[in-house]
């Protein structure tokens, strides 16, 4: 069955991302066409990228990289929950993405963002990054407004529209994750042969 990782893209104390990610997980787990798992960057304390070899080579030397690689490699697709910091994504999420290469390839990704303008600019940056990593980003994203989807900027209270939008995004994500399965299988066979 298709396995999707829901990545909490902030490690900041008092972050809003955890309650958003748990909402995504609760909505997603009502489905029977995929399984979903939370992946909290706080559980993978990655220092600033410290691998001497480029991630494209997959020659990891540090245990923290190997653990992160094993976690990410086990998914068929991802939902990245991202804040918007200074018109982009969080440094923690960007760093975690940059650690790996092949683990992201030929998979699908959807985005759930939050910020004063719904985190739209963070998602635009992530879409550019996804293309370089051979991650297929789905068109629909969920953009949560700090003014309309959070009470007092801290308590998450999503509108019904956001729940419907999330359903559409997950529909696309699961479809694309399944459609890309033959490419992942070919990539795995190639890796095993070499």
How do residues 87-142 score in pLDDT, each as one tens digit? 999 999 999 999 999 999 999 999 999 999 999 999 999 999 999 999 999 999 99
User: Cα dist. 154→15, 146, 149 in Å?
Assistant: 8, 8, 9
3-state secondary structure the chain: CEEEEEEECCCCCCCCHHHHHHHHHHHHCCCCCEEEEEEEHHHCCCCCCCCCCCHHHCCCCCHHHHHHHHHHHCCCEEEEEEECECCECCHHHHHHHHCCCCCCCCEEEEEEEEECCCCHHHHHHHHHHHHHCCEEECCCCEEEECCCCEECCCEECCCHHHHHHHHHHHHHHHHHHHHCHHHHHHHHHHHHHC
Would you state the pLDDT for residue 129? Answer: 98
Question: Is residue 76 very low, low, confident or very high in pLDDT (cuts 50, 70, 90)?
Answer: very high
Mean pLDDT of the region 48-74: 97
Contact 28, 4 (CB under 8 A): yes
Domain count, the chain: 1
pLDDT attached to residue 126: 98
* Residue carrying the six token digits 């993978």: 44
Q: Is the pLDDT of residue 168 over 90?
A: yes
- Look up the CATH number of the domain holding residue 20: 3.40.50.360
pLDDT of residue 184: 93
Q: By the 8 A CB rule, do 121 and 150 touch? A: no
What's the domain range around 63? 2-193
Average pLDDT, the chain: 96
Of 186 and 136, the one with more pLDDT: 136
Residue 189: what pLDDT?
82
CB atoms within 10 A of CB 39: 22
Give this prediction's pTM.
0.95
């Amino acid at each position: 069955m298709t396995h999707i990782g829901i990545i909490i893209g902030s490690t900041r104390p008092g972050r809003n991302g955890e309650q958003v990610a748990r909402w995504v997980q609760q909505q997603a787990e009502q489905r029977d066409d995929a399984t979903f798992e939370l992946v909290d960057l706080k559980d993978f304390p990655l220092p600033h990228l410290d691998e001497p070899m480029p991630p494209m080579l997959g020659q990891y030397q540090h245990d923290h990289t190997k653990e992160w690689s094993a976690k990410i490699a086990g998914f068929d697709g991802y939902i990245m929950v991202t804040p918007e910091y200074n018109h982009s994504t969080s440094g923690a999420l960007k760093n975690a993405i940059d650690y790996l290469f092949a683990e992201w390839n030929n998979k699908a990704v959807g985005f759930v963002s939050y910020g004063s303008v719904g985190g739209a600019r963070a998602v635009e940056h992530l879409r550019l990054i996804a293309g370089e990593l051979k991650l297929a980003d789905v068109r629909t994203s969920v953009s949560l407004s700090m003014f309309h989807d959070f009470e007092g900027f801290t308590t998450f209270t999503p509108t019904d529209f956001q729940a419907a939008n999330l359903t559409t995004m997950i529909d696309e994500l699961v479809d694309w994750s399944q459609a890309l399965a033959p490419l992942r299988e070919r990539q795995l066979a190639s890796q095993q042969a070499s």
